[in-house]
């Protein structure tokens, strides 16, 4: 049976990810978002929530390394980067990245953040975290929004003017969550990356410049 266009596209991006050394196709979603909104600009301290298998961490490391030389000027700059990835599932190590296996909604996770970043605020928080889908679009969407509300609380760790990216599912509570984001960030945008499955209701919200 011939594959539909979506399957062809998925195959092609999968092969491209393998060629470019990424652990998953989702790397291209993050690269799409970066190309549009430059969320990695001057990002040295980065937290990635829901990281397994680790392609977003690979992208984050690439930009953090680039920033060490690219933005070495009188404006905000650090001489090193710190990146932490967290997931419930096992994640194979990536050199120079701190990997934590735990539920990031647990209070213990805040202790991990404090210890690793030594109380310093972060430049960027990424979340591609997703609930385990049950197949019921309504309850899945509500559960994903609940997870996103937990994630939004973690932006307490962001510096003023820091950036935030989070995966949401479109549906009933989406508008409310969007409004909540607006309370915390000067600019909020939504984007469905080109490499995202057209049939899924996933969408990414980008919060630029955390408010004072």
The contact set with ligand SAM (CB under 6 A) reads 23-24, 26-27, 50-56, 86-89, 103-105, 128-130
Give kind and range of the element (H or E) at residue 47: strand 45-49
Q: How far is the CB of 34 from ligand SAM (least distance, A)?
A: 13
Pick 71 or 110: Cβ nearer ligand SAM: 110
Task: State in angstroms the smallest separation of the CB of 51 from ligand SAM.
Answer: 6
Give 189's strand partners: 206
| For ligand SAM, the closer CB: 70 or 194 | 194
- CB of residue 101 vs ligand SAM: minimum separation in angstroms? 8
In contact, 168 and 174? CB cutoff 8 Å: yes
Residue of 61, 167, 180, 210 with catalytic role: 167
| Structure-block tokens of residue 177 | 């969550």
In the complex, the smallest distance separating the C-beta of residue 60 from ligand SAM, rounded to whole angstroms, is 10
Q: Identify which of residues 53 and 171 has a Cβ nearer to ligand SAM in the complex.
A: 53
Helix (H, G, I), strand (E, B) or coil at 46: strand
Tokens 């011939």 locate to 2
For residue 16, count CB atoms less than 10 angstroms from its CB and return exposed for 0-12, middle for 13-18, buried for 19 or more: middle
DSSP conformational letter for 42: T
| Count of residues in the chain | 212
Q: Are 211 and 186 in contact (CB under 8 A)?
A: yes
Asked about 167 being catalytic, the answer comes back as yes
Distance of CA 140 to the CA centre of its chain: 19
Rounded to 5 degrees, φ, ψ at 75 are: -85, -175
- Closest CB to ligand SAM among residues 87, 123: 87
For the annotated catalytic residues, the residue numbers are: 167
């Amino acid at each position: 049976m011939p594959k539909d266009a979506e399957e062809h596209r998925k195959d092609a991006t999968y092969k491209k990810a393998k060629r470019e050394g990424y652990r998953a196709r989702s790397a291209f979603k993050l690269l799409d978002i970066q190309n549009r909104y430059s969320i990695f600009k001057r990002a040295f301290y980065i937290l990635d929530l829901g990281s397994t298998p680790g392609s977003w961490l690979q992208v984050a490391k690439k930009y953090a390394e680039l920033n060490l030389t690219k933005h070495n000027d009188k404006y905000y700059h650090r001489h090193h980067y710190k990146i932490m990835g967290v997931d419930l599932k096992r994640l194979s190590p990536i050199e120079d990245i701190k990997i934590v296996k735990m539920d990031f909604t647990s209070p213990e996770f805040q202790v991990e953040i404090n210890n690793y970043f030594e109380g310093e605020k972060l430049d960027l928080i990424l979340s591609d975290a997703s609930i385990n889908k049950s197949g019921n679009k309504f309850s899945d969407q509500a559960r994903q929004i609940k997870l996103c509300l937990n994630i939004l609380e973690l932006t307490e760790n962001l510096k003023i003017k820091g950036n935030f990216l989070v995966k949401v599912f479109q549906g009933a509570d989406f508008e409310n969550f969007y409004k909540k984001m607006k309370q915390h960030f000067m600019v909020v945008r939504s984007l469905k990356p080109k490499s995202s499955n057209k049939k899924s209701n996933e969408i990414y919200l980008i919060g630029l410049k955390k408010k004072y």
